[in-house]
Amino acid sequence: MTEVGAADLSRLLQTKRNECSSIVTSRKRKLRELFAVATQSEGLPHPVLTNPDAPTTTPAEWQFLQANDII
């Protein structure tokens, strides 16, 4: 078995943290897109979909995101 140095371990952990952050951001964006498509009849609100961390636009969207949160 090979030993992993502290620098290698630190880089590996940072890579994994970045991957997890990317997954969470993608999941948020996709859930917000799904909600927008399912509830908007006049078109999609483009500024909201570009920032998954933007505040929710309605209480219904917030409830949807909470109910479908994976974590």
pLDDT digits over 23-42, tens only? Answer: 988 898 888 888 888 887 77
Residue 19's φ and ψ, nearest 5 degrees, are -65, -45
Return d(Cα 25, Cα 40) in angstroms, integer.
22
Collapsed DSSP state (helix, strand, coil) of residue 27? helix
Residue 29 lies in a domain: yes
> What range does the domain containing 24 cover?
6-67
Residue 1 lies in a domain: no
pLDDT in tens, 47-59: 556 677 777 778 9
Q: Which residues contact 65 (CB under 8 A, 6 or more apart)?
A: 28, 31, 32, 35, 56
Query: What's this model's pTM, rounded to 2 decimal places?
Result: 0.68
Number of domains in the chain: 1
